Amino acid sequence: MAQAMKIAIVDDEKDMRQSISQWLALSGYDTESFGSAEDALKTLGANYPGIVITDIKMPGMDGIQLLKKLMGLDSALPVIMITGHGDVPMAVEAMRIGAFDFLEKPFNPDRMSELAKKATAARRLTLDNRQLRKELSDGGQIMQKLIGQSPAMERLREDILDLGQADGHVLIEGGTGTGKTLVAHALHAVGSRAGKRFVLLPCAAMDEAALMKRLFGPMDPDDSRLPAIEEARGGTLVLEDIESLTDGAQARLLSVINDQGNPPETRIVAICNLQDEGKTCETALRSDLFYRLAALRITVPPLRQRGEDILTLFTRLSEQYADEYGCDAPQVSAQEAAQLLQAPWPGNVRQLINLAERAVLQSRRGTGTIASLLMNDHEDMQPVMTTEGKPLKEYVEAFERMLIDNTMRRHKGSISSVMDELCLPRRTLNEKMAKYGLQRSDYLD
């Protein structure tokens, strides 16, 4: 879940601080104000979740001195400088030191909002990349995001651990929303390249000219980045939606792959996201490129094939959203659990994430049910679900396991508290926990 961006306003004039804050608040930003650079430095620092707008001329520590301090703490923190009329040389100096941009008084509020939008977008990308690098430095941490005990997920984790140790290129296939990009992160994190560069390129998000330039170069003179194929040298280059590459781009990529030798200097992980029925990645790519990329292959299972994982994921997600929105997570009835298990889930995990958030918001208002949300998502679903050959016993057991798991986590492994809430004698609870593979030690702090 994306972190909300803040805007720190630093100005010794109270009216100016209030004016900027009010305008940015109307634009939807969360602001905090400081009357001096010294006060601001008590809060601002590395990984500050937002940007800074500061006046240059202030008593005590001025804006330029504050900028130097902030650049020393976090050189990627966007700082927008407010300058007086005629202070352009000072603004140029600020840009040299590392300021994001500057506004000259009297400034246009719309221009300020535009700069704030660009700066917060840049900051969010920086913080997301830092978090990703942190996760990639710990393969175990990112593997924990691949939640589920279904045979399909156990097999997926084993494939990731096996293929992560290899050097060859990898093709990841699967439906939309199944988590293919997360699998690519995990492949890098558990392998020998974990400490090297990880570059992600969404091929479908650019036109052919922009994609060829970003992938192979040459870059524009004002772009400080290297071409992706160079930027990822020694590490991993992930190409999302590889099937969107034109014939020319495919031929160029194949040439680069052939020139790399074996083992390849840069590992390519290709993600194929075909949604058209009857079309495969093999038919979408030229055969010589396909077989170079598909030497190692992973297929990410659709959510509908993951059984009880659906309930586990829904519970975890709804608890996370409930914590975010400051309310209780919705309670799942036995019928709703069966419906969650039976839903077709064409949008896979991404659809389940959206459903969990809507369920929490709906529960906070005290209206609606999970079943009604499912009906809205799948208009062809009926209120009473058919079992499609599955005995009712399997749905009851899945719901029972989820209920005990949730209660154990809520009470942090306190057997007596779980017994009281579920009205179960100790022997029965012990038998059910053994049956479902639940260990009390997993719930202790």
Report whether 103 contacts 82 (CB < 8 A). Answer: yes
pLDDT at 376: 72
Dihedrals φ, ψ of 261, to 5°? Answer: 85, -170
What's the fold here for domain 6-135?
Rossmann fold (3.40.50)
Q: Indicate the residue type of 171.
A: L
Tokens of 221: 């003179």
Helix (H) or strand (E) holding 118: helix 109-136
Dihedrals φ, ψ of 31, to 5°? Answer: -115, 155
Dihedral angle computed from the Cα positions of residues 275, 277, 280 and 286, in that order, rounded to the nearest 10 degrees? -90
pLDDT at 183: 94
Question: 3-state secondary structure string, 432-443?
Answer: HHHHCCCCHHHH
Q: Do β-strands 198-202 and 236-240 pair in parallel, antiparallel, or remain unpaired?
A: parallel
| Whether this model's pTM surpasses 0.85 | no
183-203 residue pLDDT tens: 999 999 888 888 788 999 999
Dihedral angle computed from the Cα positions of residues 279, 280, 281 and 286, in that order, rounded to the nearest 10 degrees? -70
Using the structure block, give the residue that is written with the tokens 């710990």. 138
Q: Cα–Cα distance between 80 and 101 in angstroms, integer?
A: 5
pLDDT at 251: 93
* Average pLDDT over all residues of the chain: 85
pLDDT at 355: 92
pLDDT at 391: 56
Residue 94, helix vs strand vs coil: helix
Q: Cα–Cα distance between 232 and 224 in angstroms, integer?
A: 15
Dihedrals φ, ψ of 87, to 5°? Answer: -95, 25
Q: Which residues, at least 6 apart from 188, have a Cβ–Cβ distance to it below 8 Å?
A: 136, 164, 194, 198, 235, 236, 238, 269
pLDDT at 35: 93
pLDDT at 121: 87
Q: Indicate the residue type of 21.
A: S
Residue 58, helix vs strand vs coil: coil
**Best CA proximity match to 358, nearest among 336, 383, 337, 377:** 377
Dihedral sign of CA atoms 138, 144, 146, 149 in order:
positive
- Residue 296 bridge partners (DSSP): 170
Tokens of 371: 């079943």
Using the structure block, give the residue that is written with the tokens 């005629």. 86
Q: Indicate the residue type of 148.
A: G
Are 6-135 and 139-301 equal in CATH topology? yes
Dihedral angle computed from the Cα positions of residues 369, 374, 376 and 381, in that order, rounded to the nearest 10 degrees? -120
Report whether 381 contacts 340 (CB < 8 A). Answer: no
Report whether 58 contacts 68 (CB < 8 A). Answer: no
Residue 67, helix vs strand vs coil: helix
Q: Which residues, at least 6 apart from 180, have a Cβ–Cβ distance to it below 8 Å?
A: 172, 173, 174, 240, 271, 273, 300
pLDDT at 388: 43
User: Which segments of 144-267 does DSSP mark as H helices, in order?
Assistant: 151-164, 180-189, 208-216, 228-231, 247-260
Q: Do β-strands 198-202 and 79-83 pair in parallel, antiparallel, or remain unpaired?
A: unpaired
Report whether 101 contacts 113 (CB < 8 A). Answer: no
Report whether 116 contacts 51 (CB < 8 A). Answer: yes
Domain residue spans in the chain?
6-135, 139-301, 304-380, 392-442
Considering the domain delimited by 139-301, tell me its CATH architecture.
3-Layer(aba) Sandwich (3.40)
Q: Cα–Cα distance between 3 and 193 in angstroms, integer?
A: 28
Residue 120, helix vs strand vs coil: helix
Residues in the chain where the model's pLDDT stays below 50: 1-2, 380-389
Q: What is the domain class of 304-380 according to CATH? A: mainly alpha
